[in-house]
Amino acid sequence: MSRLPDPTSILVTGGAGYIGSHAALRLLDSGCRVTIIDTLERGHIEAVEVLRGEGDVEFVQADCGDQAQVLELIDARSIDTIMHFAALCNVGESVEQPLRYYANNTGSSLHLLMAAATAGVPRFIFSSTCATYGEPGEEHLPITEDCPQAPINPYGHSKLLVEQALRAACTSARTAGRPFACAMLRYFNVAGSDATGRLGEDHDPETHLIPICLGAAAGRRDAVTIFGTDYPTPDGTCIRDYVHVDDLVEAHLAVMNALEDGDERVYNVGTGHGTSVREILDAVRRVTGVDVAGIDGQRREGDPPTLFNDPTRIRKDLGWTARIDSIDEIVETAWRWMQEHPEGWGS
């Protein structure tokens, strides 16, 4: 395989959102030129303003599925890498509004891919998800990249379809002799905030467990509902693999710098162990000193009981491992930002 030129100009889709903004910040810290495209439907212009103070950032409010706009940006900013984060990511919402998820997550991604192919962008790094594995069962835990993909909700399926399209794009590029490499990073549960306090997590509606629990600790809600207490797990609540957002972003930079022409890489990104909902609540109580109340509720449709990954492949290939492995430390970084921004980015 031939070595691709060193990446210098990165298009970050969804760069005003939680993970995308953290990725953009790390890219800027490493000296890259960053172009952000985001509709601001769920992203925050305030995060973009923080990024503008950190380096060479161009922001365009648009849909990454707008091929004409993307092609214009690729040309104007000499884009050599696309990091694709833009997506709707609420599992429950995807069950209620499946067509919206397919249109946004799959449809816009296909248009983005076509623009990348037209312009000859040589690297494409895709924000995928462990939800593509569905409900793997005990025989597949911890989850490796070779685990069968059988998503049980439209969110996971909408991401799996993009993975399949990316593989087809790689095959097409090889056949045409066009330089192209891609990586699909299947995230487990991303949590925490930028360790320096510059960025944080703010969703509307908020569906992520840790900020919900911290919101209760901050007095923004009376209690936290535990969706399902009768799962086949030690304490009856769902177990997930929580990876700090800074560690996740480091995985993106590691794979970006390692890609060679023709590569088609797939990596799970997580810590390799799980934490239950009740254990998250306990961590929030320890970190904040607030006795957050938990209320037992019914299961949500589409929630598998246990998901945690085997990080062997990414460790062997890229030397990546999660540096923040303590759930208390992850919670502490999120709590620090929330205390500084009690109303989120609108503070």
Domain ranges of the chain: 9-192+242-269, 209-240+273-315+324-346
Whether the CB-CB separation of 32 and 60 falls below 8 Å is answered with no
Mean pLDDT of 69-83: 98
What is 283-322 written as a DSSP string? HHHHHH-----EEEEPPPTT--SEE-B--HHHHHHH----
Q: What is the mean pLDDT of residues 52-56?
A: 95
Contact between 23 and 92 (Cβ < 8 Å):
no
Q: Which residues contact 343 (CB under 8 A, 6 or more apart)?
A: none
Q: Is there a catalytic annotation at residue 267?
A: no
Give residue-wise pLDDT tens across range 241-253: 999 999 999 999 9
**Which of the 8 DSSP states describes residue 48?**
H
What is the model's pLDDT at position 294? 97
3-state SS class at 182: strand
Q: Which two tokens stand for residue 265?
A: 């890489």
Which CATH number, 3.30.300.30, 1.10.1040.10, 3.90.25.10, 3.40.190.290, labels domain 209-240+273-315+324-346? Answer: 3.90.25.10
pLDDT of residue 1: 61
State the average pLDDT over residues 314-332.
Answer: 97
pLDDT at 347 over 80: no
- Is the model's pLDDT at 280 over the cut of 90? yes
pLDDT of residue 259: 97
* CA dihedral (155, 159, 160, 162) positive or negative: positive
The string of pLDDT tens digits covering residues 284-303 is 999 999 999 999 999 987 67
Residues 155-192 pLDDT 10s: 999 999 999 999 999 999 999 999 999 999 999 999 99
Three-state DSSP at 129 gives strand
**Measuring CA to CA, which residue among 252, 318, 187 is closest to residue 32?**
252
Give the pLDDT of residue 346: 84
What percent of the chain is predicted at pLDDT more than 90? 91
Query: Could you tell me if 311 and 268 are in contact, meaning their C-beta atoms sit under 8 angstroms apart?
Result: yes
- Average pLDDT, stretch 108-112? 98
The catalytically annotated residue of 155, 187, 242, 267 is: 155
Q: What is the mean pLDDT of residues 106-117?
A: 98
Judge whether 242 and 188 are in contact, CB under 8 Å: yes
- Is residue 7 pLDDT above 70, yes or no? yes
Strand-pair partners of 10: 34, 81
DSSP 81-121: EEEE------HHHHHH-HHHHIIIIIIHHHHHHHHHHHHT-
Among residues 66, 8, 77, 28, which one has the least CA distance to residue 256? 8
DSSP 122-154: -EEEEEEEGGGG----GGGPSBPTTS----SSH
Confidence of residue 304 (pLDDT cuts 50, 70, 90): confident
Please give the residue that has the higher pLDDT: either 212 or 304.
212
- Environment class of 177 (CB within 10 Å of its CB; exposed 0-12, middle 13-18, buried 19+): exposed
Residue 29 in this model has a pLDDT that exceeds 90: yes
pLDDT surpassing 80 at residue 327? yes
Q: How many CB atoms lie within 10 A of CB 260?
A: 13
Mean pLDDT of all residues in 66-79: 97
Q: What is the DSSP letter of 6?
A: P
For residue range 86-104, list pLDDT tens digits in order: 999 998 899 999 999 999 9
Show Cβ contacts of residue 325 under 8 Å, excluding neighbours closer than 6 positions.
Answer: 271
Superfamily of domain 9-192+242-269: NAD(P)-binding Rossmann-like Domain (3.40.50.720)
Contacts of 335 (CB under 8 A, 6+ apart): 214, 217, 284, 287, 288
200-244: pLDDT as tens digits: 999 988 999 999 999 999 999 999 999 999 999 999 999 999 999
Spatial CA neighbour of 297 closest among 240, 233, 238: 238
What value does the mean pLDDT of the chain take?
95
What pLDDT is stored for residue 92 in this prediction? 84
